[in-house]
A and B are shown apart, each in its own frame.
Chain A
Amino acid sequence: MRQKIGIMVVLISLLMMSIIAGCSNTNSDADKQNVKAPEQNVTIKVGGSSTLAPIIAKCADDFTEEYKTWNKVDSSLPEEGIVIFVSTGGSGFGMKSALDGTFDLGMVSKTLKDEEKEQFKEGEIIQLGSDVLDIAVNPKNPVAKVKPDLSKEEIKAIFSGNIKTWKELDPALPDRPIVVCVRDLGGGASEVFDKAIMEGTPISNQALQIPSMGALAGKVMDNQDAIGYVSSGLVNQNADKLTALKVDGIAPTVENITSGKYQIGRPLLLMSKDKLNAREQLFVDYLKSDKGRTVIEDLGYIPPAK
């Protein structure tokens, strides 16, 4: 009996302690102080756009492999291991979390509105490159050979649901329904596409909303009747499984993008609410250096002009 009471008391006090510990963390200002204090901030947490995530993750891996501890990057820093966490969640989530301190750097892949830029005016917005959205179809889809060049109006009609079958687009194509694949309607890629092509026309309500760019690419790769806007990086990485169509006669090649002729694009940004501390600055310098640019190019994105 006494033993049972003893165990009971221990368990209940553990329960109480965890409740009290949970309650005392509601002061988020104190939390933020902890995270942003320069000398204690050893890990860098980066999160947001699922397009930027592979780039930053690869660069973080290379950076950690090459230097291993902070004092090798810059001898004024103490010898602590380099730890960089990269997570996804979408551009909106990246911006929100950069503002509330969950992430040190937010990854965002869309053009910023003025109010969004206002929120970061005390911090920094760094452009790492651009991503371009290709209109991609499955290589087995006859449209790649029959009609590889679509006008902006035709693309608008397909994505808004006015053209429902491939046959309606061109009589030489089979009479199969067009499976329109888009990203979630509030997301970064969706806004870019809306600004460049749809211009306010709502997307068809038969379009499949897919949670991430990778899954969208996978859907177009798997399904012969699918069409969707896929990030050019993914199209370049999977050149045998995805075919990009031309828009108004302009193909999404590097020259057309840097010259500005191909318009469906968005900047790849890193955003920080406060000025970067020493370690973050070193990592960002690495990202902007030649090594970072090579990673961006290898993954198929466009580094900023030098």
Chain B
Amino acid sequence: MRYSLASQRDKFWGAFFFLIALICSLLLAAVLLFMLKESWPVWTEIGAKSFLLATAWNPMASPPEFSIAPMLVSTIWVAAGSLLIAAPIGFACAIFLAEFAPAPLADILRPVLNILTGIPSVVYGFLGAAVLVRFFERSLGWSSGESLFLASLVLALMVLPFIVANSEAALRSVPAEYRYAALALGVSKTHLAIHVLVPLARKGMLGSLALAFGRAAGETMAVLMLAGNILLTPGSWLDKGEPLPALIALELGSAVPGSPHYQALLAAGLVLVVIVMIINLLLNNYLHTARNEVNRFE
């Protein structure tokens, strides 16, 4: 505790809440350790390099081959692609809601965007399969509509509310002095929003991208139905692929627990968790070390 005048009661409650926070962090560590333990033979026998970089996934061959490079590429491609589609739209929505929207309109738009998070992902996958796949096959004449692009498109819709909500909060947290200064100097609202407020709020906006990436990389049902699930490394955005969550969801049902197939699937799950954690940590690190420009003059 920072204050040496803390009473006994304060110290007690402080320690108590610290304990609860510790339990939550330990839960995360427990999950990681469990997955590591269950998949340990994969790391010792196949080796991390071969597992992560080779391209043959063949659980039915004898001996079975397990390598997830194509799935890693698909996962990152699908998630990055969805951010590519959702970020411009999300940032634009956030700027509109924070600066330009009249209050009644903003009050309607915000809950509507938040409802998008409430729609179950399997519904997104189903709608994508029923409507978008057919659209790509019939109108554009593709032989089969599933592709990473389609999965990215639907994922973009799913992560849009995260980007909008967090970016809008970041924009709103810029102190009001900047807006008054702009009014006093006669600067147009557009110039203010794009050249002053967005750079000041960029920490929060980039942070929202990290959250969106985590959601997009881990999304299972939608990509299971839309990405095509083929075992090749995708060469273009329009190719089919099999992101890691789809791989696990597809094959875990038929893998016997304790078998090498099961261990490989758990190892793939561990890799997925670690990737999302690393991206989050890197982004948070960048955001903390970058100078906090909003407080530069205070």
Give A contacts to B, CB under 8 Å. Answer: 12, 15, 19, 89-93, 95-96, 176-177, 179, 184-188, 190, 194, 202, 205-211, 215, 219, 222-223, 225-226
Contact = CB atoms under 8 A, between A and B. Distances in A.
Contact of A96 (B129, B144, B242, B257): B257
Contact of A184 (B137, B225, B250, B256): B250
Interface string B239-273: 01010000001110111110001000000000000
Most-contacted residue by chain A among B146, B229, B249, B255 (CB, 10 A): B229
Contacts of A96: 256-257
B254 A184 contact: yes
Contacts of A177: 143
Given A177-B143, A194-B60, 4 more contacts: A186-B261, A209-B231, A211-B250, A226-B144
Interface string B131-173: 0011001000001101000000000000000000000000000
Contact of A208 (B61, B137, B229, B253): B229
A92 B256 contact: yes
Give chain A's interface secondary structure class: mixed
Interface in B215-253: 224-225, 228-232, 240, 242, 249-251, 253
A89 B240 CA distance: 24
Given A208-B229, A211-B249, A222-B137, A92 B255 contact: yes
B214 interface: no
Interface of B: 16, 20, 23, 58-61, 129, 133-134, 137, 143-144, 146, 224-225, 228-232, 240, 242, 249-251, 253-257, 261
Nearest to A218: B129
B138 to A, nearest CB: 9
Contacts, number: 76
B62 to A, nearest CB: 9
Nearest to B13: A8
A208 B256 contact: no
Contacts of B20: 15
A208 B251 contact: no
Contacts of A12: 16
A93 B256 CA distance: 8
14 contacts: A92-B254, A96-B256, A176-B143, A177-B143, A186-B254, A186-B261, A188-B254, A202-B61, A205-B230, A205-B232, A206-B230, A211-B250, A215-B129, A219-B144
A191 to B, nearest CB: 8
A194 B58 CA distance: 14
A219 B134 CA distance: 10
A225 B250 contact: no
B135 to A, nearest CB: 11
A176 B231 CA distance: 21
Nearest to B133: A222
Contacts of A179: 143-144
Contacts of A91: 254
A290 B251 CA distance: 36
Contacts of B230: 205-209
B251 A185 contact: yes
The 8 closest A-B pairs by CB, nearest first: A90-B253, A92-B254, A186-B254, A209-B229, A205-B231, A93-B253, A184-B250, A179-B144
A96 B240 CA distance: 31
Given A206-B230, A208-B230, A225-B144, A187 B254 contact: yes
B30 to A, nearest CB: 12
Nearest to B233: A205
B61 to A, nearest CB: 7
B108 to A, nearest CB: 34
A161 B211 CA distance: 40
Contact of A215 (B58, B225, B251, B254): B225
B144 A223 contact: yes
